[in-house]
Amino acid sequence: MKIFNTRLSTLSDTQKAQLVEQYQADDYLLLDFDTRQHSRFRAITVSGEAVGVDLPRTGVLKGNDVLINAAGELMQVIAKPQAVTKVTADDDFLLMKGAYHLGNRHVPLMFDHSFDQGNAGYALYFENDHVLAQMLENLGLHIESTSVPFEPETGAYQTGQGHAHGHSHSHSHSDSHSHKESHDHSHDESHSHGHQHSHSHHDASVGRSNDG
């Protein structure tokens, strides 16, 4: 079984061309967020080949990350669409309030900005949790279920190096706490977990288009 143990930060033209060929042959990994949080795991490519991933603990794998093994073989990671909760609001302030309450509970959040995200023009996404959804509805936010590739923000204390992943802090949430508990802890104190990380997505679609 092939073992991929290094994350590439830059790609040569030859490597980019190789990834295009592999994508056309379904030779890539389609992984959900829970799997991408781990540094060591076994996975099956879209074409059905079993491979292993054994990486240093340097953060969550992102969609379009590229791995390489000792033999120089490449493997691209694609973020798999998964069931999530989408949050929109009538104005930016209300959505910001919702983001604060979710962040105060250490919930991994993905942010999106486009013209179809309600009046505020923004949306939040988090892994499904009916307790959190009810809390947000009580605050006046709009909730709906959807399926998208889930790419939550990484920690603001990371260095913002895009996919180079040379981070000294790994806020990878690898403990996989699903927040299915009652959420009775109020967390009224103000932890400012600013999960704002610039997703530079260098060479973001070397083997695929970004629309999944």
Q: Supply the pLDDT for residue 118.
A: 56
Whether the predicted pLDDT of 178 surpasses 60: no
Q: 44 in helix, strand or coil?
A: strand
Q: Supply the pLDDT for residue 112.
A: 86
| Strands, E assignment, 26-159 | 29-31, 40-44, 50-54, 66-68, 74-79, 81-88, 110-113, 122-127, 142-149
Give the model confidence (pLDDT) of 109-148 as tens digits.
999 876 555 565 789 999 999 999 999 999 999 999 999 9
Cα 205 to Cα 153: distance, rounded to the nearest angstrom? 19
Give the model confidence (pLDDT) of 57-82 as tens digits.
877 899 999 999 999 999 999 999 99
- Return the H-helix or E-strand segment holding 20: helix 13-24
Closest among 5, 3, 9 to 202, alpha carbons compared = 9
Give the model confidence (pLDDT) of 77-113 as tens digits.
999 999 999 999 998 899 999 999 999 999 999 998 7
DSSP readout, 91-113? SHHHHHHHHHHHHTTT---EEEE
